[in-house]
């Protein structure tokens, strides 16, 4: 069943900058869609457009989520969707958590934004979520502030916050980019596990082909605001049709291949 359909999405910022240009996306319930591309290809702008969080931009085209058109939805209804049915995990978990509140408070706050729940009840939910995303001693750690956590733990908090309402769609914008490699693997495992348990569809935005290969069912390759290639992950990785995709794949070092003298880089186009 189709959960999210994006048709001809175009995002313009003032002074003639077009970040996304006629993009189409489809995401089915419970599926993982990888959106890959280099910096500035319009990936993050697309995710913010879905949530209606873009400021100072003109958005045109269609964004249909579960049968509802989001681009014309009023702020109030959009707010009800955010967090509850569409949640988001951002790239840099330190700057995305408010330094003035405990991690449990920030998770509980998301829960209380959509449920009639008292502070104690919401706090219990937060502790349970912290446990679920693998924070040791969740009872005690719940009262910590973001600066007392490591990068990986902060990202776990972000994921706990996003998943405490069991959303239909999780938009993960570069969820592992700010983390070191071992922690990246843990976070990807966590996302995979939660997807299986909760059944949340994930729109995974990344520039890292390895992340897509490990988690996504389908992939869309973006370049300069367009989708240049799309398809099942296996097909795109085995038989990339576009030169750009081939270039992107060639930039990823292979653990089982011959060691190149120097890694290929993307040639600047346009």
Q: Does 96 bind other proteins (CB under 8 A)?
A: yes
Q: Does 166 bind other proteins (CB under 8 A)?
A: no
Q: How far apart are CA 20 and CA 141, in angstroms?
A: 40
Q: Which helix (H) or strand (E) holds 36?
A: strand 32-36
With respect to other proteins, which residue has the nearer C-beta, 97 or 187?
97
With respect to other proteins, which residue has the nearer C-beta, 113 or 183?
113
Q: How far apart are CA 209 and CA 253, in angstroms?
A: 10
Q: How far apart are CA 169 and CA 61, in angstroms?
A: 20
Binder of other proteins out of 20, 35, 90, 168 (CB under 8 A): 90
The answer to whether the CB of 253 falls within 8 A of the CB of 210 is no
Q: Which helix (H) or strand (E) holds 44?
A: helix 43-51
Question: What residues pair up with 220 in beta bridges, in sequence order?
Answer: 35, 230
Question: What residues pair up with 171 in beta bridges, in sequence order?
Answer: 88, 203
Binding mask 27-66 for other proteins (x = CB under 8 A): ------------------------x-x-------------
Binder of other proteins out of 64, 79, 128, 192 (CB under 8 A): 79
Stretch that binds other proteins, among 17-25, 29-37, 75-83, 246-254 (CB under 8 A): 75-83
Binder of other proteins out of 28, 109, 121, 131 (CB under 8 A): 109
With respect to other proteins, which residue has the nearer C-beta, 36 or 89?
89
Q: Does 97 bind other proteins (CB under 8 A)?
A: yes
Name the residue among 171, 142, 168, 179 with its Cα closest to residue 157: 142
Token code pair at residue 62: 């269609």
**SS3 of residue 215 by DSSP:** helix
Instruction: Give the footprint of other proteins on residues 205-244 (CB under 8 A).
Output: none
Measured in whole angstroms, how far is the alpha carbon of residue 256 from the centre of its chain? 29
Q: Does 118 bind other proteins (CB under 8 A)?
A: no
Binder of other proteins out of 88, 179, 205, 211 (CB under 8 A): 88
Q: Which helix (H) or strand (E) holds 139?
A: helix 138-141
Token code pair at residue 147: 């600066």
Half-sphere exposure of 225 (CA within 13 A, CB side): 13
Binding mask 136-155 for other proteins (x = CB under 8 A): ---------x-xx-------
Binder of other proteins out of 45, 59, 110, 211 (CB under 8 A): 110
Q: Does 84 bind other proteins (CB under 8 A)?
A: yes
Binder of other proteins out of 2, 60, 68, 80 (CB under 8 A): 80
Residues lying near other proteins in the complex (CB under 8 A): 51, 53, 75, 79-84, 87-88, 90, 92, 95-101, 109-110, 113-114, 145, 147-148, 158, 161
């Amino acid at each position: 069943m189709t959960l999210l359909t994006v048709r001809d999405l175009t995002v313009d910022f003032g002074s003639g900058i077009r970040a996304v240009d006629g993009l189409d996306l489809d995401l089915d319930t419970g599926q993982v869609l990888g959106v890959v591309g280099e910096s500035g290809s319009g990936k993050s702008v697309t995710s913010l457009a879905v949530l209606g969080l873009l400021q100072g931009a003109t958005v045109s085209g269609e964004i249909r989520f579960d049968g509802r058109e989001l681009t014309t939805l009023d702020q109030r209804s959009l707010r009800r969707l955010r967090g509850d049915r569409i949640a988001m995990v951002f790239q840099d978990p330190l700057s995305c958590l408010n330094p003035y509140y405990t991690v449990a408070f920030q998770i509980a706050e998301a829960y209380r934004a959509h449920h009639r729940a008292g502070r104690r009840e919401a706090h219990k939910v937060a502790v349970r979520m912290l446990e679920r995303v693998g924070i040791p001693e969740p009872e005690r750690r719940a009262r910590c502030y973001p600066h007392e956590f490591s990068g990986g733990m902060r990202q776990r908090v972000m994921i706990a916050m996003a998943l405490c309402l069991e959303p239909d769609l999780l938009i993960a914008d570069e969820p592992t980019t700010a983390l070191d490699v071992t922690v990246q693997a843990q976070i990807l495992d966590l996302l995979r596990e939660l997807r299986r348990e909760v059944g949340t569809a994930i729109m995974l935005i990344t520039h890292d082909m390895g992340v897509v290969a490990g988690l996504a069912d389908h992939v869309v390759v973006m370049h300069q605001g367009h989708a240049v290639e799309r398809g099942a992950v296996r097909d795109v990785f085995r038989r990339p049709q576009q030169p750009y995709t081939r270039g992107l794949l060639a930039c990823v070092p292979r653990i089982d291949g011959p060691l190149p003298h120097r890694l290929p880089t993307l040639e600047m186009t346009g």
